[in-house]
A = this chain, B = another copy of it.
Amino acid sequence: MSIDKAPKAPHFNITSPAPYVVHIEINRPAKLNAFYNPMWYELKGLFDFFSHDPETRAILISGAGDRAFTAGLDVQAASDPSSSALSSTGHSDASRKATHLRRHILELQDVISTVARCEKPTIALLHGYTYGLGIDLSSACDIRFCATDTKFCVKEVDIGLAADVGTLSRLPKVIGLTSFCKEVCLTARPFSADEAFHNNFVSKVVSGGKGQLVEAGLELAKLIVTKSPVAVQGTKNILDAAWGRTVEDSLNYTAVWNAGMLQSSDVERAMLSGLRRKTPTFEKL
């Protein structure tokens, strides 16, 4: 099984609840799944691995325990003098501090971008506290479902900073630069599952607890993995490339992409299966 070959990531539970489906659970429930240093690198390692893993066609990501997807950055850990993140970098000169901070931010951004670049569809399953980094991380996923009890918050202004690992770049892409988007980013006010649904951040609110949420996510993932992985992964790549570019550029890119991909045997298999009302099977990718 491919999950056995995944890099070590002690703060995450990795399971395969169905063929071709991987479930990554953030596993630090005692701290509301808040992130501290080692978790960033584990997360990056996992998504780098599953992005290319031929036995993976869809990825679920959720938080362990009943209380949180993730409460965000572990502020206590980050404010510890020994932490490199936001405290003194050993430089007294402001420009040198700035250089080190920039490098550090780019490094953390790259972790979240690894999730966004993952070739396989990613489904974030949100419940309880989904604060700060929880928004950065889930905005980098393709699909978001949440439980009725989810409490969302773009928390960063409450710790004195503009969110810098992805939320401010990806939320306008996901929900538009709406009044709601500005309101929740500028105020750090929490918002509910209903608001998340009304504003198109999540595409489904699942009643019941975390169990029902995971079930709903799994059902979606199981549907995705029956499709041609060539078609699914191409769809994801092209949709993401459309953003911030003109329609003309996007159309040309699509034509170049499909010039190679339409030669897939999947097209014939899928078409014939459709006509014969059979379920096709596809080679790994």
Question: A residues within 8 Å of B by Cβ?
Answer: 52, 75-76, 78-79, 86, 91, 93-99, 101-103, 105-106, 109, 113, 116, 121, 142-145, 156-164, 166, 168-183, 185-189, 199-203, 220, 223-224, 227-228, 230-272, 274-275, 280, 282-283, 285
Task: Determine if A256 and B255 form an interchain contact, defined as CB atoms under 8 angstroms apart.
Answer: no
Copies per complex of this chain = 6
Task: Determine if A223 and B189 form an interchain contact, defined as CB atoms under 8 angstroms apart.
Answer: yes
Which residues of B lie under 8 Å from residue A96 when comparing CB positions? Answer: 230, 264, 283, 285
From residue A41, how far is it (CB to closest CB) to chain B in Å? 16
Task: Determine if A235 and B143 form an interchain contact, defined as CB atoms under 8 angstroms apart.
Answer: no
Which residues of B lie under 8 Å from residue A245 when comparing CB positions? Answer: 244, 246, 249
Q: Give the docked Cα–Cα distance between A183 and B182 (Å).
A: 25
From residue A193, how far is it (CB to closest CB) to chain B in Å? 13
From B75, B164, B250, A254 is in contact (CB under 8 Å) with B164
From residue A100, how far is it (CB to closest CB) to chain B in Å? 8
Task: Determine if B164 and A258 form an interchain contact, defined as CB atoms under 8 angstroms apart.
Answer: yes
What would 5 A/B residue contacts be, using CB atoms closer than 8 Å?
A: A158-B227, A178-B203, A179-B200, A187-B220, A189-B223
From B86, B181, B243, B266, A246 is in contact (CB under 8 Å) with B243
Task: Determine if B186 and A274 form an interchain contact, defined as CB atoms under 8 angstroms apart.
Answer: no
Given A245-B244, A255-B105; A275-B180 close (CB under 8 Å): no
Which residues of B lie under 8 Å from residue A228 when comparing CB positions? Answer: 157, 160-161
Which residues of B lie under 8 Å from residue A169 when comparing CB positions? Answer: 238, 242, 247, 250-251, 254
Task: Determine if B175 and A176 form an interchain contact, defined as CB atoms under 8 angstroms apart.
Answer: yes
Task: Determine if B178 and A178 form an interchain contact, defined as CB atoms under 8 angstroms apart.
Answer: no
Task: Determine if A274 and B101 form an interchain contact, defined as CB atoms under 8 angstroms apart.
Answer: no
Which residues of B lie under 8 Å from residue A121 when comparing CB positions? Answer: 182, 186
Which residues of B lie under 8 Å from residue A264 when comparing CB positions? Answer: 93-96, 160-161
Which residues of B lie under 8 Å from residue A247 when comparing CB positions? Answer: 116, 169-170, 173, 243-244
Q: Give the docked Cα–Cα distance between A159 and B262 (Å).
A: 10
Which residues of B lie under 8 Å from residue A262 when comparing CB positions? Answer: 86, 95, 101, 105, 161, 164
| Most chain B Cβ neighbours within 10 Å, of A96, A169, A266 | A169
